Chains A and B, each alone.
Chain A
Amino acid sequence: MQVVTPLFHVLVFPGFLFLVAFGLFASWIDRKLIAKFQNRVGPPLLQPLADFIKLLAKEDIIPEHANRAMFAAAPLVALAGVIASIVYIPTWSSTALAGFQGDLVVVVYLLTLPAFALFLGGWYSTNPFATIGATRVISQLFGYEVPFFLACLGPAIAAKSWSISEITYAQADGMWLVTAAPLGFLVALIALIGKLERVPFDIPQAKTEVITGPEVEYTGRRLAVWKLTFMTETIVGATLIAALFLGGPHFWGIPFAAMPAWLAGAVGMIVLVVKILLVVFFLALAQAAMARIRIEQMVQWCLMYLGIPALINIGVIAFVIRQVGA
């Protein structure tokens, strides 16, 4: 039975190892960009890796009154959810590893696992700061999750499919769906900031308020897993947005069909990496340019300025599809 190739895909590329490596690299790009925006020098290339290795070497402490099972399971569940979702998102070609009709819903669900796991991990840490942070995680979920899903629905309606692979394939002729759903693209990007808990939506992990919130009691390996989760979620989220709105591995004019498979794969991957880094650039710019807002301001603003545009976006697309006919 063919076991080696799927195992390779899941563990190495584009699975675990690739996501971790690319996550660390994107984290470096992010920190370097923010440093440049702030007129600083920024860390060297291997800094995120060095931080990760350092964390692995630290002592593992579990608070006395914490629920050991939940405390230990939370970061692992979060990481598993994020890494599992890459299986359904097309990376170097229009077909994902295991795409099927409806995998868009599965991926959006898997990407909410980090937030819920963060909530549970923080809640069961029995630390007042973690408790406040955990409730903030859930409150923040109200703000960005529904607009994010609605925004992702736009391309699904435009491409008439629930499969991310088919949505990406529909953009193969060069017409990226961002032109069909520009509002949705912006909404998805901003909601991604909330998902990744970055400024201005890093409220659950506000350093000066709740001292990193739900993560406050985590140390050593487990904290490294949390950091890794958010780094890889950046990549997976960016890949999802690239696949849905920016045409994934496709770029106008590149004759994929005429190339040998390996070349098509390599070129597709490079194109995708460029798009992912564009998303990271936007995330870094948002972090550098703004202050952190309060949780009730965030939820209000998101429901008003993300929720309503997302709905308008869907309405417009549905209307256009009806008019155009096919």
Chain B
Amino acid sequence: MPKLSFPVGPQHPALKEPENLRFTVDGELVVDADIRIGYVHRSIERSCSERNYVQDLYLCERVCGICSNAHTLCYCMAVEKIADVEIPERAQWIRMIMHEFERIHSHLLWLGVAGYEIGFDTLFMYVWRDREVVQDLLEMVSGSRGHYAMPILGGVRYDITPEMETKIREGVAILRQRTEHYADIATTEATFIMRTQDVGAVSGERCRQLGAVGPVLRASGVDWDIRTVFPYLKYDQVQWQVRSSELCDVLGRTLVRVQEVIDACDIITQALDQMPEGEIQAKFPRKVPEGEATARVEAQRGELIYYVRSDGSDVPARVKIRTPTLANLPASIEMVTGGYVADIPIAFASIDPCFSCTDRMVVLDDLRSGDSRQMTWAELVKLGRGR
């Protein structure tokens, strides 16, 4: 059969968000893969420079629905660094609890989606049913299931009351037990293993070369977690360990994520035990002094970097966001090339792609002339439509 070229995306049942993958296949074997992103570009970075710091807090949260808390946390950390504001102890513990809650919710979402990609609808239904537990807890604490808006400049917005604490402990216990069941499925269910073992394999060395981050990197045997490498919040005061796997394939990434959920449950319980009483908000100046800062957190998908530059006014001069999915995309191309067509959805989904996070300002480098130019939103749209 001659080589066939077909697109996956921008609209495709396998993709949760639009992006354009173009595959060249020879029968069932993927010979070449190319990726084109930019379908969810909303010029958030530009908008950030036109709004004040508080407005930007809510804007940055909406970069992504699933890792929204990681974005607000990272943004707050960067701006608080510039303003040299120390947030209260209790606020840091609460921030860590929300961070881990979001990790649970995101990884369980991913597990369900992974089940859907391989045709295992039952796993999807069960996992998302259990995910409702963490969604209800989040709603109880923050008032919202998606964008919790808990970290604010100077602390957190809401406190965790003793009644909430009891409910959180119960909920987390249920989640822990159910996730152990899913860990069992991932390691013993035959059809699941058939679809995930040796699929989308990238070695640890290659992952480092391609700049992969997060569970993708850890599943290839590299023990790199921002929570231990550049410690933030209270991760050095709770008992947990960096989860990694030597498998390097989709199965390895599944196991790493499921283990991280179980760890998150344990971290939350310990945090509730060790959390001191006290204030949850510190005074934050309206005008942030001149300066610049970088903050990095271990978001669910990997290392999230925020760079904020302030010129002394109440509007930031520049906010730059580097999301983990962008770092994982080169690795994802490697994962699907040389594999089967049937493995495209699950191999691609194994990096937990979040294209809402990824689409930032495009800087084009012309290889031949060496020029580079930035394109505005209107120019980009024109380019996209003209193709």
Task: Give the interface of A toward B (CB within 8 A).
Answer: 34, 37-40, 128-129, 131-132, 135-136, 199-200, 202-203, 206-211, 288-297
Chain B min CB distance to A164 (Å): 33
Prevailing SS type, chain B contact patch: helix
Partner of B28, one of A40, A288, A295: A295
Q: How far is the CA of A34 from the CA of B344 in the complex (A)?
A: 26
Residues A291 and B191 in contact in the complex (CB < 8 Å), given A39-B129, A132-B4, A132-B25: yes
Q: How far is the CA of A293 from the CA of B193 in the complex (A)?
A: 10
Stretch with Cβ within 8 A of A (4 or more), from B116-124, B214-222, B224-232: B116-124
Chain B neighbourhood of A207, CB < 8 A: 13, 119
Taking CB as reference atom, which chain A residue is nearest B27?
A135
11 contacts between A and B (CB under 8 A): A38-B125, A39-B129, A136-B28, A203-B342, A209-B342, A288-B122, A291-B118, A291-B192, A291-B195, A294-B342, A295-B28
Chain A neighbourhood of B1, CB < 8 A: 135
Answer whether residue B345 sits at the interface, using C-beta atoms and an 8 A cutoff: yes
Q: How far is the CA of A296 from the CA of B4 in the complex (A)?
A: 19
Residues A209 and B341 in contact in the complex (CB < 8 Å), given A135-B1, A291-B195, A293-B191: yes
Taking CB as reference atom, which chain B residue is nearest A291?
B120
Chain B neighbourhood of A128, CB < 8 A: 4-6
Q: Are A37 and B28 in contact (CB under 8 A)?
A: no
How would residues 87 to 121 of chain B score, 1 for a CB under 8 Å from any chain A CB and 0 otherwise?
00000000000000000000000000001111111
Answer whether residue B263 sits at the interface, using C-beta atoms and an 8 A cutoff: no
Q: How far is the CA of A303 from the CA of B363 in the complex (A)?
A: 53
Q: How far is the CA of A211 from the CA of B7 in the complex (A)?
A: 12
Chain A neighbourhood of B28, CB < 8 A: 132, 135-136, 295-296
Q: Are B121 and A38 in contact (CB under 8 A)?
A: yes
Q: How far is the CA of A135 from the CA of B117 in the complex (A)?
A: 21
Q: How far is the CA of A227 from the CA of B120 in the complex (A)?
A: 21
Q: Are A200 and B119 in contact (CB under 8 A)?
A: yes
Partner of A199, one of B4, B14, B119: B119
Task: Give the interface of B toward A (CB within 8 A).
Answer: 1, 4-6, 12-14, 25, 27-28, 115-123, 125-126, 129, 189, 191-192, 194-195, 340-345
Q: How far is the CA of A91 from the CA of B133 in the complex (A)?
A: 49
Q: Are A211 and B12 in contact (CB under 8 A)?
A: yes
Q: Are A292 and B126 in contact (CB under 8 A)?
A: no
Prevailing SS type, chain A contact patch: helix
Chain B neighbourhood of A209, CB < 8 A: 14, 341-342, 344-345
Q: How far is the CA of A296 from the CA of B25 in the complex (A)?
A: 16
Q: How far is the CA of A211 from the CA of B194 in the complex (A)?
A: 21
Q: How far is the CA of A295 from the CA of B192 in the complex (A)?
A: 15
Q: Are B119 and A292 in contact (CB under 8 A)?
A: yes
Q: How far is the CA of A282 from the CA of B27 in the complex (A)?
A: 33
Chain B neighbourhood of A37, CB < 8 A: 122
Residues A208 and B6 in contact in the complex (CB < 8 Å), given A135-B1, A291-B191, A293-B191: no
Q: Are A293 and B194 in contact (CB under 8 A)?
A: yes
Q: Are B122 and A294 in contact (CB under 8 A)?
A: no
Q: How far is the CA of A300 from the CA of B342 in the complex (A)?
A: 16
Chain B neighbourhood of A296, CB < 8 A: 28, 340
Chain A min CB distance to B272 (Å): 29
Partner of B120, one of A39, A203, A290, A297: A290
Chain A neighbourhood of B191, CB < 8 A: 200, 290-293
Q: Are A293 and B12 in contact (CB under 8 A)?
A: no
Chain B neighbourhood of A297, CB < 8 A: 194
Q: Are B195 and A293 in contact (CB under 8 A)?
A: yes
Q: How far is the CA of A200 from the CA of B194 in the complex (A)?
A: 11
Taking CB as reference atom, which chain A residue is nearest B345?
A208
Residues A39 and B119 in contact in the complex (CB < 8 Å), given A132-B25, A135-B27: no
Q: How far is the CA of A34 from the CA of B125 in the complex (A)?
A: 11
